[in-house]
Amino acid sequence: MNTMNKKIGIGLLGLGTVGTGVANIVFSSAGRHPLVSKINIKRIAVRDLQRKRSLEIDTSILTTDPFEVVKDPNVEVVVEVMGGIEPARSLIMLAIDLGKSVVTANKAVVARYGKEISDAANAAGVYVLIEAAVGGGIPIIEPLKQSLGGNKIKKVTGIINGTTNFILSQMTKEGANYQDVLNQAQELGYAEADPGADVNGHDAADKIAILSGLAFGGSIKRESIPTKGISNIENKEINYANQLGYELKLLAIAEHLENYSEIKETSLALRVEPTLVPNDHPLSTVNGVNNAILIEGDPIGEVMFYGPGAGAGPTASAVVADILNIAGIKLMQNSGAKSLDPLLSASSWRKCHLANPREISHKNYVRLITADAPGVIGSIGNIFGNHKVSIESIVQFDSNIEGAEIIVITHKVSKGQIIDSLLEIKKLSEVIQIAAHLSCL
Q: Would you say 275 or 410 has its CB closer to ligand HSE?
A: 275
Burial 318-354, CB ≥16 within 10 A → b, else e = bbbbbbbbbbbbbbbeeeeeeeeebbeeeeeeeeeee
* Residue 6 among the catalytic residues: no
**Strand-pair category, 246-256 with 152-159:** antiparallel
CB under 5 to 8 A by kind: which of ligand HSE, ligand NAP, none does 366 bind? none
Q: Is the peptide bond before 299 cis (omega within 30 degrees of 0)?
A: yes
| Closest by CA position to 254, among listed 289, 301, 219, 279 | 219
Residue 206 found at the interface with ligand HSE (CB under 6 A): no
Where residue 100 falls (left for φ over 0; alpha for ψ -120 to 50; beta otherwise) is beta
**Considering the complex, what minimum distance in angstroms separates the CB of residue 137 from ligand NAP?**
9
Q: Would you say 193 or 395 has its CB closer to ligand NAP?
A: 193
**Strand-pair category, 39-45 with 8-13:** parallel
Contacts of 425 (CB under 8 A, 6+ apart): 368, 380, 383, 384, 431, 434
Burial (Cβ within 10 Å: 0-12, 13-18, ≥19) of residue 137: buried
**Which residue among the candidates 207, 249, 388, 415 is catalytic per the annotation?**
207
Residue 66 found at the interface with ligand NAP (CB under 6 A): yes
Which one among 16, 288, 381, 416 touches ligand NAP, defined by CB under 6 A?
16
Residue 198 found at the interface with ligand HSE (CB under 6 A): yes
Residue 310 found at the interface with ligand HSE (CB under 6 A): yes
Contacts of 72 (CB under 8 A, 6+ apart): 9, 11, 42, 43
Q: Would you say 81 or 96 has its CB closer to ligand HSE?
A: 81
**Considering the complex, what minimum distance in angstroms separates the CB of residue 171 from ligand NAP?**
20
Q: How many residues bind ligand NAP (CB under 6 A)?
A: 29
CA distances from 332 to 113, 145, 337, 419 (A): 30, 22, 7, 50
Based on its alpha-carbon atoms, the radius of gyration of the chain, rounded to whole angstroms, reads 27
Residue 136 found at the interface with ligand HSE (CB under 6 A): yes
**Considering the complex, what minimum distance in angstroms separates the CB of residue 198 from ligand NAP?**
10
Which one among 25, 91, 191, 215 touches ligand HSE, defined by CB under 6 A?
191
**Considering the complex, what minimum distance in angstroms separates the CB of residue 289 from ligand NAP?**
8
Residue 139 found at the interface with ligand NAP (CB under 6 A): no
Q: Would you say 11 or 162 has its CB closer to ligand HSE?
A: 162
Q: How many residues bind ligand HSE (CB under 6 A)?
A: 11
CB under 5 to 8 A by kind: which of ligand NAP, ligand HSE, none does 11 bind? none
Q: Give the other-Cβ count within 10 Å of 427's Cβ.
A: 9
Q: Would you say 107 or 202 has its CB closer to ligand NAP?
A: 107
Find out whether 411 and 391 touch, Cβ atoms under 8 Å: yes
CB under 5 to 8 A by kind: which of ligand NAP, ligand HSE, none does 322 bind? none
Which one among 203, 255, 296, 322 touches ligand HSE, defined by CB under 6 A?
203
**Considering the complex, what minimum distance in angstroms separates the CB of residue 15 from ligand NAP?**
4
Binding site for ligand HSE (CB under 6 A): 136, 161-163, 190-192, 198, 203, 309-310
Residues with a catalytic annotation lie at 207
